[in-house]
Structure 1
């Protein structure tokens, strides 16, 4: 029975480590995907344009434009796909802060967003 509890405690440590490092791992993967998209856009723009029959005169400008366009598209797709996970991570962080305040005995104050008033004459 004792070894079962020790195994469960070790599993909890590993689970907490995975959850704690999830945000970092996700951010690392997003940067790698964004860099890969920029490199792919840079390398694949001229072959795609020549396959379409277009004549590109300043090749470097088209390569840079391809890198910019593909990284922008990748950023937007990744924001939609990974956005909910990042919101959950932020929500988890906020809940932990509230729980820590309650454990310390401090009252939890909910800050209301500042309402901007329209200018009046």
Structure 2
């Protein structure tokens, strides 16, 4: 695998630990208590369920560098008839100012524009 190769992937439950560590890294939370862990796990499960839907209300992919989850990119409030939605992304502080969000967004837009 190429060093620092950026890829997008569908989340798996096994990504929860890396996802939670990003919340601490970015000072979203100071600690991860059981309530936060449970809420994030529910969000992750809902994200995974959405992969099976023809027209989900949101679609998210994990941003990975060298196989490690460093953030995500998401489209929400999707209007399928108008082919519009709100796109957002976030990455861990450690990877800021390295052009990863721009690269991830380009890959994401290509992927969602090819979807039926």
Is the TM value for this pair above 0.5?
no
Name which one, 1 or 2, has greater alpha-carbon Rg: 1
The structure that is strand-richer by fraction is: 2
The structure that is helix-richer by fraction is: 1
TM-score (norm 2): 0.31
- Higher RCO by CA contacts (8 Å cutoff, separation 6 or greater): 2
TM-score (norm 1): 0.30
